[in-house]
Structure 1
Amino acid sequence: MQRLLTLLSIACLVAVGLAVTRPGRAATDVVITVRASSAEGTLATRLGTQFAWPGSLDRAAGSRGRFNALAPGLVRINATTDGVPGLPLVMPAGITKGDWNFANLDAIVNDVRAAGGLVVLDIAYAPQWMWDCSTGAIRDTTFAEFASYMARVVSYYSLGSFVAEDGTTITNPAGTANRIGYWEVWNEPDQRALGCPPGGNPNINTDQYVAMWNASVPAMLAVDPAIKLVGPATSSAMPISAPDFLGALLANAKHKPDVVSFHAYGGWHNAQTDRFFFDGDTGCCGIAGIERGLIAVQAAAPGIPIWITELNVNSDSAADDPTQRPWTAFGAAWGASAFGRLARHGVQAIFEFQFANPSLRQLSLIEIDTGRPLLPYWRDYYLARSFPAGSTLLSTSSSNPEVETFAARSPESNVVRVLVVNRQVDSDSATGGGGLPATVRVTLQDLPRVGSVTVRRMDAATPLDTGPELQSLPASDSVTVDFSGYGLALIEFVPEAVPAARR
């Protein structure tokens, strides 16, 4: 997501509120059934996050530890020339031709690799010196210049060095240890670019995007044939009014994308209602719109993995939501709902935007100046551990469509984990409401002899420093969870061990 862009995007992440029923409001009785014997496929979804600037882990003592503990398997870096006042530039040679300074980009790559993650590098647009800012257009419409640039950046990470325009050899201090395997080429071509500061400029059109791809991708693959190419990274799945970049790419690319990507936000303005962020309006937006967009992209690109390389409640970057929805119980429920719905459709990766924004909590998992986790941090931490890729999806049902559920059997075991999300809005016009209370009865069928049951609940009362407490419950195939409003619960049913004599 670029700072100056207004996105008609869709997307999100998950959370739910549990607790004691609030006085004056009767809790809705909800029945959820999970069928352990009814498999519905294999979970493919991985959760990731991203950075746009270096130093995000250095402002507070605990930030690096929080990132390392989260240990996201995939981390996107959006390399731009968007320095924002006081922030360092990330795109190497992004302003001046030949100024091959990788220090800021390497700092982020080093942080990701130290935490055990794999980097997905997005070069957001052509460096500033490749634009004719008198017209706002790209200077070389063959994109040979940009292709040479991309080949050098790939060489820096895949080969450990490259020869610059002036004959100088630029060497990566890490050698090839920080090889980058995933490359997203361009960012949101359907939105304005930042090639001509300060106001930006019109981006390339669909024909130019295909020309850029067809020039750059072969040059990149010539350096490292094993890299994977990701695109088109549009601001939403199937833009309503924008040109069809995905269709143009799939029809005309010499090398089809190895992964198709798009961005997804529930809305784009802090004044939009709670209902809008969940359900959208007239076919647009909300988690419902993101879900429809994913299905449309899958139909357009059959057999190609789909990644949502930016996801959040709200793309508004002007100021934090005064009602604090994205980083509190509402955001936790929103993200959990998005995870369950998109994972069920087979999306292969979701990248929360972002780990620590320099100024906005609504675009963060932690507070950048304190290192304190926000509730969505704990949501993603436990979702990733409860539902690893390779789990077996199970059939579920809920008597209330706004109390959602998602269940899976863990790989190589019969442990069943159930996600319950209370996303009931106070009213269709509520903005920043607390959500409606609910009493949810979860029953597991077809798992003989449950040996133990645990529950973690996340809501407005969850302590942010330590996260949700693990509660052990009596062994049973039925559990009741009370929500005071927005929130989520993670329930684990562990089967009783079968004695050797009975095996």
Structure 2
Amino acid sequence: MILRRCLSASILALALAVSGCAANPSSSTLNLPGDTLSLYLDGAIVPVVPGGAPSTVVCSSLRSTGSTAPITLSVTGVPAGMTATFTQPPANGNFGTLLLTAVNTAAPGTFPLTVTATDGTATSTAKLTATIIPTDAITLAAATPAITVRQDGTPGSTAVTVSRSVGYTNPITITATGMPTGLTPTYTQPAAGTTGTVTFTTASTPAAPGTYNITLTASDGAATATTTVAVTVGVVLTVANANDTTLGISGQLREFMSTGFQPSTYNNGFFKSFASTTDLAALNPLHIRLQPVFGAIPWVANSLPAAASDWSFTGLDQTVQPVLAVGDKSPIFQIAKAPLFLDDASGHFIDNPTNLALLTTYAQNLVRYYNTGGFNVGSTHFQSASSQHITWWAIFNEPNLNNLTATQYIQLYNTLVPAMLAVDPTLKFVGLELSDYVSSTGVGQAASFLPQMVLPANAGGINAPMNAIATHFYGTCVQSATDASLFTGAAKLVSEVKYIEAQLATRSDLAGTPVWVTENNVNSDYALTTGFSSCTPTIQYVLDPRGTSTFFTAYRPLLFSQLGKAGAQSLYHFLYEGSQAYGEVNSGSAAKTLAYWTDYWLAHTFPWDGVSAGALLYKTSTTEATPTVDILAVHNLDNSVSLMVTNYAAASTADDNGAGNTRTVFVNLTALGTFSSATEVDLNGATSPTAGPTAATITPGSTLSLTFNGYGSSMFLLKP
């Protein structure tokens, strides 16, 4: 505050008595008999600072003896932009206060004011001069507080507006702070004016994608003002009008989606509870996988002599018969385990000539049961109720986890396959089915089997037909594995596919054998009967929800894209019905999950029948140095284009089932020409597991602009 010194009423009265004149030359006194009043101000010139603290003027009244009426103060002459308020004298009091304030934009100048005091009978006035002092003040505003730039150098701009105190014309300069490396600002400065422009551009090594809060500062050398703008750096993906023959199968995407069942004591009754196969068929699965284990292996005893009670297909067929009527009606039957009487106490096959002969008999009878009219045990005939045959057979499950060496597995395979072909020569076979993972040293499980399998057929290698070779990929066996580690782990799975392909290529009759991924999910762990983890038996099992959470809408599409580009020709969801960790639908209610809809739209956006030529893979590029966004683009046989963009950016490296980070993405389709129509399907955390996403019609242009609020995928079908 600017406070003027006060004069005591008694001193004023004494001064008047001695001098016989007024104490303030700007005051006037009405010398009337009876009630008289004189007003005195403690200053004749009062400075007022725009936007500053109030300036204070003390108003003193001298009245005739005995006069006690309340005094009221008022003022006239107050200019625009200035405000005058009073603290009125209290009842019977003689002192009040005038407060003068001015807004920032008040025009500087000198203004005469008249202050009036009245007690209802007597009146007195006094003059003062209020001077609004010119000040230097600036405000700054951005017309576009949210700006998007692209990593390819496409800039983003905002106009800025400054306001300043009247009379001040010092040049104003705008600067920006808080920018990441790789983002550069340029300016059109306001100088002596009031408007300018700030433009942001990424450098040749662009800033990482994301949103950055940038502070803009305006300064004229004395006064400053700031405002904040949010600058989003977007990823640019470009699709070239060229086939990338280094990807897939000679430049073709030949990858089908499928799913599987594990008939067992625990889930043989799924189709008894939920008989409809409509949702299963809607996935368009090829070669649905059947993997009978405990409680569904039909050879239950080896009596001597053989008895009809030794065999029971009841539990197994509760799953097999419905599946035989779905989709391509051509499932894969995996002879996952030997009959239990051929296993040791740990459930591992006891490999010896006698047991191998019995396992061969078991395999032959399975073929007879489903394909060639059945078989007899005594007077009892066993034959499938379906006329559909099972053409595809997989030989054993995960030999590396089930106590078989490469030599033992090759012998088992070379024994079973010819014996089964002797029953039905139309059969096709899938070999190996490893529990596969890549160690920290970069070595996958295939290295323990493939080098021996591809030895010459007469020198210890595979010597029976193998129509496909399979492996199983899971992201982890530990619930605490971070999201980021699972996404980066995709590269290891790609390297394993390429390793298998390279090993097969060393033998001319095995070169080009399709590599199938017949099990895939996020986490392979499950609970033992003790409640402990199967992977880490010293700790309690913890369900990993990422198999059906928002995370999955990025994880499965990323793997489909990366494995398909590496040449894998199938990707199977481990279980159609299961828990949150595994199921496309819930085993207890058949309710769909996000995993269901993710697989559904992968199969419908990138369909392949497993036989025909595949869609041509386009060459694509990204502006990201370390990718967090993936693109898959193919030219279909009908000249349409299928395209998928997946955001797998984690918000934090520590996230475990996080929501993902935001990304703005631009897909440059200029090289592909124009399209007449397009549809878009978005899979993310906002997708309803019950209803799934809705395919939306969009107007296609040369650039697709996408905003991801977290993990997810967007799939497009563009028609010429």
Question: Structure 2 vs 1, CA of residues 255 and 134 (structure 1 numbering), >3 Å: closer, same or farther?
Answer: closer
SS in 1 for 2:270: coil
Aligned counterpart for 2:269 among listed residues 27, 31, 55: 55
Whole-Å separation in 1 of the counterparts to 2:522 and 2:715: 21
Gaps spanning 5+ residues in structure 2: where? 1-209, 214-229, 246-250, 456-460, 506-511, 528-532, 534-540, 609-613
Which residue of 1 is the match for residue 427 of structure 2? 227
- On the 8 A contact 1:43/1:388 being kept in 2, the answer is no
Aligned mates of 1:492, 1:241 — CA distance in 2 = 36
Partner of 1:3: none
In the TM superposition, residue 208 of structure 1 has moved relative to its aligned partner by 2.0
2:240 pairs with 31, 35, 38, which one?
Answer: 35
Does 2:479 align with 1:270? yes
Instruction: Give the C-alpha shift of residue 244 in structure 1.
Output: 1.8
- Asked if 1:489 corresponds to 2:714, the answer is yes
- Superposed, 1:31-110 pairs within 5 Å as 31-38=236-243, 40=245, 41-53=251-263, 54-60=268-274, 64-81=277-294, 89-94=295-300, 99-110=310-321
State the partner residue of 1:394: 618
Q: CA deviation at 1:160?
A: 2.2
Structure 1 gap segments, 5+ residues each: 1-20, 82-88, 193-202, 280-285, 496-503
Q: Indicate if the aligned counterparts of 1:47 and 1:73 stay in contact, CA closer than 8 A.
A: yes
Is the aligned partner of 1:336 residue 2:577?
no
Distance 1:94 1:422, change over 3 A: farther
Report whether the alignment pairs 1:308 with 2:517.
Answer: yes
Matches within 5 A, 1:205-354: 205-236=405-436, 240=443, 244-251=448-455, 252-279=461-488, 286-302=489-505, 303-318=512-527, 324-354=545-575
* Greater displacement, 377-386 / 32-41: 32-41
Considering fraction of residues, name the structure with more strand.
Answer: 2
CA 1:171/1:322 → structure 2, altered by over 3 Å: closer, same or farther?
A: closer
Aligned equivalents of 1:437, 1:343: Cα separation in 2: 26
Q: Give SS of 2:259's match.
A: strand
Letter in 1 for 2:261: F
Which range moves more in the overlay, 253-262 or 129-138?
129-138
Amino acid at match of 1:457: D
Query: What's the counterpart of residue 427 of structure 1?
Result: 652
Q: Give the distance between the partners of 1:361 and 1:232, measured in 2 at CA.
A: 28
CA RMSD of aligned residues (A): 2.6
CA contact (8 A) 1:452 1:476 kept: no
User: Are 1:60 and 1:368, in contact at CA under 8 Å, matched by a contact in 2?
Assistant: no
Of Structure 1 and Structure 2, the greater helix share is in 1
What is the CA distance between 1:220 and its match in structure 2? Answer: 0.5
Once residues 250 and 32 of structure 1 are traced to their aligned partners in structure 2, the CA distance between those partners, rounded to angstroms, is 40
Q: Per-residue displacement from partner, 1:120-141 (whole Å, max 9, x unpaired)?
A: 0111121111235499761633
Q: Give 1:467-486 correspondences, 5 Å limit.
A: 467-486=692-711
Q: Do the aligned residues in 2 keep the contact of 1:57 with 1:368 (CA within 8 Å)?
A: no
Post-superposition Cα deviations, 1:151-200, rounded to whole Å, max 9, x if no partner, equal 11111112021233x464322222xx2211111111011114xxxxxxxx
In 2, distance between residues paired with 1:376 and 1:478? 29
Q: Which moved more, 1:366-375 or 1:419-428?
A: 366-375
Shift of 1:29: 0.8
1:173–1:324: structure 2 CA closer, same or farther, 3 Å change rule?
Answer: closer
Letter paired with 2:299: A
Mapped partners of 1:298, 1:37: distance in 2: 24
Tell me: CA distance 1:138–1:322, structure 2 relative to 1, closer, same or farther (3 Å).
Answer: closer
- Structure 2 counterpart of 1:161, one-letter code: G
Q: 2:338 aligns with which of 120, 126, 138?
A: 126
Structure 2 CA distance for partners of 1:155 and 1:464, relative to 1, 3 Å:
same
Give the structure 1 partner of residue 630 of structure 2: 404
1:233–1:263 contact (8 Å) kept in structure 2: yes
- 1:148 paired residue among 328, 343, 361: 361
Whether contact under 8 Å (1:266, 1:312) holds in the other structure is yes
Q: In structure 2, what is the equivalent of residue 363 of structure 1? A: 582
The residue matched to 1:405 in structure 2 has which SS?
A: strand
Letter in 1 for 2:334: D
- Taking a change above 3 Å as real, the CA distance of residues 101 and 493 of structure 1, as seen in their structure-2 partners, is same
* C-alpha distance in structure 1 between counterparts of 2:449 and 2:339, whole Å: 21
Q: C-alpha displacement at 1:490, in angstroms? A: 0.5
1:324 & 1:134 partners in 2: Cα distance? 29
Cα distance in 1 between the residues matched to 2:347 and 2:622: 56
Partner AA of 1:209 in structure 2 = Y
* 1:121 maps to amino acid: F
> Does the aligned pair in 2 maintain the 1:39–1:394 contact within 8 Å?
yes
Contact 2:605 2:716 (C-alpha < 8 Å) held by counterparts: no
Kindly tell me the number of residue pairs found equivalent between the two proteins: 445
**What TM-score comes out, normalization by structure 2 length?**
0.58
CA contact (8 A) 1:183 1:228 kept: yes
- Stretch of structure 1 that moved more, 212-221 or 337-346: 212-221
Q: Supply the AA of the counterpart residue of 1:337.
A: L
